[in-house]
Amino acid sequence: MIATYLPLVPQLILITAGILVMLLEPFTAPGRKGRLGQMAVIASALAAYSLGFQWNSTPRTLFHGMFIVDNFTMFFQWLFLVITAIAALVSIRFNQREEIERGEYYALLLFACSGMSLMAASGDLILTFLAIEILSIATYVLAGFKRSDAHSNESALKYFLLGSFATAFLLYGIALIYGTSGSTNYQVIRDVGTLPGQVQVTAVAGLVLLLVGFGFKAALVPFHAWAPDVYQGAPTPVTAFMTVGPKAAAFAALLRILAQALPAMADDWTRLLWAVSILTMTLGNVVAVLQTDLKRMLAYSAIAHAGYLLIGVVTNTGNGFGAVLFYLVVYTVMNLGALTIVLSLSRQGDKRVNLEDYAGLSRSAPFIAASLSVFLISLAGIPLTGGFLGKFYLFSAAVEAGYIGLAVIGVLNSVVSVYYYFRVMVVMYMREAADNALPPEPISPPVLAIIAIGVAGILWLGVYPADILNLASNSALTLK
């Protein structure tokens, strides 16, 4: 009996640790809140370890199909735990510097992680909705964690208001789907299949509303308007977390719903997402070109990458879904890496995040400049980095499924992105620092280690991707 619920252990670890952090917070002296951050890291590691026992077990469901236990779930839970651990680790020094050192921060991260994990595991629209709420509420608070900072407040409020709208759309979509299929369970919805006439229209309306909701969560164009402001205003570690974690979670839930619950409507959603994909990558890239604030530039680039990811979803093939999962890993490493460097170099109050502040960085901090270059080269999709192979597999899947036009638009977008990613390298390597420039903040050893591991990881993914690639395609198997 107990053994049946073993897959819940990681969730329980996360939530228990989160509550524990909250309880210990008042008893931790100011200046030592970093301990709580370390606790969050350890909890994530423990949860990741406990996940290992479930890998490759027979896919099954718990709680009447609510909670799906399969490799897809595991894959994403691992990803989320890594993201959470890194976000917690890089936040410790940052929060001290910004004077927002509070234990609840780490508890919220853990709760957000649990929400994301549930999104990936959910086999029922109701649980999906609840999981999204768990995640969202935690991130609303995290975005506004710099209470004294107007930008952070604006960020939180904007995210909250627009997020609530999105949730409402999502809920309405769920209601319509329920209305046509008579259930919220993915398997049951799938079995109902295509519907005749009038009901079909309602189902399509439900699908569209669902996509609107997820579009908001994953910052897809035209529902992306919140993203740049929120990403820019939030504390940088939260930005790093939000550009990878909730985005990956939204893709996980979206893949599950589309592939497992609504395969009968594939014609409709591939057509819709095809257009959304093109809009998302094009707008993200074109607007990123205009940015001079590095945080904001990476915010738009995050939008663009969601567009690339959608290419894999649109293919509606096992290879395409596998490519999405692989790209999410690669994207997580490179985006977290780049933003970790940005936040480590910045000064209190989000100073020193402008492009000009990076002038001459190759002299003052050669290792950091080289690492950031590797991440940017990978984001641009140049070979020998994970970013290239990620895009390569996405585009391959697209061509294989007959979407050659989509692949061509994807590669042309990559060219645009080369311009703004390489501009950062231009500034770092080809311009000299101004005389009155603030020197970069010295970087703490653990963060330095994370950056080094990130660089090694992105090169490893670019040269020996087989392990992760097989993991990704294995995990995507259950979808098809």
| Residue among 20 and 384 whose Cβ is closer to other proteins | 384
Of 59, 222, 383, 439, the one binding other proteins by CB under 8 A: 383
| Residue among 172 and 392 whose Cβ is closer to other proteins | 392
Closest distance to other proteins from the beta carbon of 418 (Å): 5
The interface region with other proteins, picked from 9-17, 79-87, 108-116, 318-326 by CB under 8 A, is 318-326
Closest distance to other proteins from the beta carbon of 465 (Å): 6
- Rounded to 5°, the CA angle 191-246-358 comes to 150
Reference 390, options 464, 329, 300; nearest CA is: 329
Q: Is 67 helix (H, G, I), strand (E, B) or coil?
A: strand
Closest distance to other proteins from the beta carbon of 384 (Å): 6
Beta bridge pairs of residue 293: 354
Q: Binding to other proteins (CB under 8 A): which residues in 457-476?
A: 464-467, 469-470, 472-473
- Rounded to 5°, the CA angle 117-235-368 comes to 95
Of 254, 299, 336, 389, the one binding other proteins by CB under 8 A: 389
Closest distance to other proteins from the beta carbon of 440 (Å): 19
| Residue among 47 and 428 whose Cβ is closer to other proteins | 428
Closest distance to other proteins from the beta carbon of 278 (Å): 15
End-to-end CA distance of the chain: 30
Residue found by looking up tokens 């963060």 in the block: 447
Closest distance to other proteins from the beta carbon of 388 (Å): 8
Of 220, 382, 450, 451, the one binding other proteins by CB under 8 A: 382
453, 381 in Cβ contact below 8 A?
no
Of 188, 192, 384, 437, the one binding other proteins by CB under 8 A: 384
Closest distance to other proteins from the beta carbon of 17 (Å): 35
Closest distance to other proteins from the beta carbon of 381 (Å): 8
Q: Binding to other proteins (CB under 8 A): which residues in 321-350?
A: 322-323, 326
| Residue among 93 and 305 whose Cβ is closer to other proteins | 305
How far are the Cα atoms of 337, 402, 406 from residue 387, in angstroms, in the given order? 13, 23, 18
| Residue among 270 and 473 whose Cβ is closer to other proteins | 473
Q: Which two tokens stand for residue 385?
A: 């980095």
CA distance 292 to 25: 38
Q: Binding to other proteins (CB under 8 A): which residues in 390-429?
A: 392-393, 395-396, 399-400, 404, 407-408, 411-412, 414-415, 418-419, 422-423, 426, 429
Beta bridge pairs of residue 270: none
Of 238, 329, 377, 379, the one binding other proteins by CB under 8 A: 377
Query: Is residue 319 near other proteins by the rule CB under 8 A?
Result: yes
For 381-465, where are the alpha helices, taking DSSP H only? Answer: 386-400, 404-430, 445-463
Question: What's the half-sphere exposure (Cβ side, CA atoms, 13 Å) at 261?
Answer: 30
Residue found by looking up tokens 């645009």 in the block: 416
Beta strands 67-69 and 60-62 are: antiparallel
Q: Which residues contact 54 (CB under 8 A, 6 or more apart)?
A: 6, 7, 69, 74
Q: Binding to other proteins (CB under 8 A): which residues in 197-236?
A: none
Closest distance to other proteins from the beta carbon of 355 (Å): 13
| Residue among 14 and 374 whose Cβ is closer to other proteins | 374
328, 248 in Cβ contact below 8 A?
yes
312, 320 in Cβ contact below 8 A?
yes
| Residue among 102 and 480 whose Cβ is closer to other proteins | 480
Reference 255, options 413, 128, 400; nearest CA is: 128
Of 430, 449, 452, 456, the one binding other proteins by CB under 8 A: 430
CA distance 376 to 396: 22
Closest distance to other proteins from the beta carbon of 373 (Å): 9
The interface region with other proteins, picked from 63-71, 84-92, 258-266, 319-327 by CB under 8 A, is 319-327
| Residue among 351 and 363 whose Cβ is closer to other proteins | 363
| Residue among 111 and 403 whose Cβ is closer to other proteins | 403
E strand segments, 168-319: none
Beta bridge pairs of residue 122: 67
Rg (CA), the chain: 21
Closest distance to other proteins from the beta carbon of 277 (Å): 16
Phi and psi of 351, rounded to 5°?
Answer: -85, 160
| Residue among 34 and 320 whose Cβ is closer to other proteins | 320
| Residue among 47 and 374 whose Cβ is closer to other proteins | 374
- Total of residues contacting other proteins (CB under 8 A): 38
E strand segments, 32-178: 60-62, 67-69
- Rounded to 5°, the CA angle 60-66-71 comes to 40
Give me the residues that bind other proteins (CB under 8 A), please. Answer: 319, 322-323, 326, 377, 382-384, 388-389, 392-393, 395-396, 399-400, 404, 407-408, 411-412, 414-415, 418-419, 422-423, 426, 429-430, 464-467, 469-470, 472-473
